[in-house]
Amino acid sequence: MKKTKFNQIHYKLGAKMVEFAGYEMPVQYSSIIAEHKAVRNSVGVFDVSHMGEVFISGEKALGFVQYITTNDASKLSPGRIQYSVMCYPDGGIVDDLLVYNLAENEYMLVVNAANIDKDFQWMKDNNVFGVELKNRSDEFSLLAVQGPNSKAVVQKLMETELDLEYYHFRKDKIAGVDMIISRTGYTGELGYELYFTGDESVAEKVWNSIFEAGKEFDIQPAGLAARDSLRLEMGYCLYGNDIDKTTNPLEAGLGWITKLKKGNFIGLDSILKAKNDGLKRRLVALTSNERAFPRHGYDITFNGEKIGTITSGTISPVLEKPIALGYVDTRFKEAGTKVNFLIRGKEIPAEIVKLPFVNI
């Protein structure tokens, strides 16, 4: 099992550690709800060093990125980031990812931890452009500083003005350490993701500097469980739950990052066919006023008939009621539609709603 450079810090903080995507990771420190609310109300820090970083360079780097991803990377300039997915020829999703335009003919793709090896192999198998591919996932540490006070914390550790717009990044120093500072996150809050290399001593220096700077804001470490409840309140997809090789981006509500007119990319023909044939199901947001815990794999029903399946569910720490994502027959996709969660044989009244569940 791999360990991040912050492993000993997590143990010292008393984190509950679990195996996740081949890494030993902190699932929680104090309580999931307390960590969740720290991010919503002030600032929290996540170790997400298990994420993968693949670097692409060469004369045809843009052509390669355009071919393997669904979004239009030609719209990026250096310092810009894009959310995208890679698809199989049948339109199923290989992974969702972030595309960073580092410089002309140079990109960084940030992929999900559980998919690093699969994704890198997929890129190599489809490298008909002769670009250079480097999997540098093990070299990079990654901290996500998230919450309304995240800018104030990070700014304290910089000598330059932190004026990044959403989905922009730049290279700079934090606590004297060179890094990529990215205004991105998986929480819906103002936040920054900090990519840097170096050993445990560098990682510890950065961690301790952030927590010292955040002391006045009662900064808290946050684990994977809070990361999951935060992303679900926003309706962000989780690979392996809400999207996978059996789902196409249109039915997953990712049409906004699927540019069908940009030129050829892997999966285009199948996605066009699915669109022209009419989508059979859609990923929707659901909530209930009942005391219930909707879980991945539970049925969604209407008048006793199964019409779909829950892909992600929890009790929202902010709303204090059940929230879920799930696929339903397209007849039932409109907000306001009354349906049910089928939980242990009992139908629990629920309703399809618009995202996000929580307005930031």
Tens digits of residue pLDDT in 147-188 = 999 999 999 999 999 999 999 999 999 999 999 999 999 999
Is there a domain that residue 100 lies in? yes
Q: What is the CATH number of the domain that holds 41?
A: 3.30.1360.120
What sign for the dihedral angle of Cα 37, 41, 43, 47?
positive
Total number of domains constituting the chain: 3
Compute the average pLDDT of residues 250-279.
98
Q: What is the CATH number of the domain that holds 82?
A: 3.30.70.1400
Round to whole Å and give the CA distance between 78 and 203.
27
Is there a domain that residue 265 lies in? no
User: What is the DSSP track for 106-122?
Assistant: EEEEEE-GGGHHHHHHH
pTM of the model: 0.98
Helix (H) or strand (E) holding 224: helix 224-234
Residue 103: which domain range?
Answer: 52-135
> Considering 76, 105, 135, which residue would you say is the last residue of a domain?
135
Among 107, 106, 102, 83, CA closest to 93? 83
Question: Tell me: the pLDDT tens digits for 340-354?
Answer: 999 999 999 999 999
Among 98, 85, 95, CA closest to 257? 85
Is there a domain that residue 255 lies in? no
Question: Tell me: the pLDDT tens digits for 59-113?
Answer: 999 999 999 999 999 999 999 999 999 999 999 999 999 999 999 999 999 999 9
Asked whether residue 212 falls in the same domain as residue 315, the answer is no
Among 103, 118, 83, 98, CA closest to 48? 98
> Considering 166, 201, 231, which residue would you say is the last residue of a domain?
231
The pLDDT, as a whole number, for residue 217 is 98
Contacting residues for 5 by C-beta, under 8 A, at least 6 apart: 49, 141, 198, 199, 200, 202, 203, 204
Is there a domain that residue 275 lies in? no
The pLDDT, as a whole number, for residue 219 is 98
Mean pLDDT of the chain: 98
* Backbone dihedral angles phi then psi of residue 122, each to the nearest 5 degrees: -60, -45
Band (pLDDT 50/70/90 cuts) for residue 360 is: confident
Among 8, 45, 10, CA closest to 226? 45
Is there a domain that residue 39 lies in? yes
Q: Is the per-residue pLDDT at 137 higher than 90? A: yes
Compute the average pLDDT of residues 306-315.
98
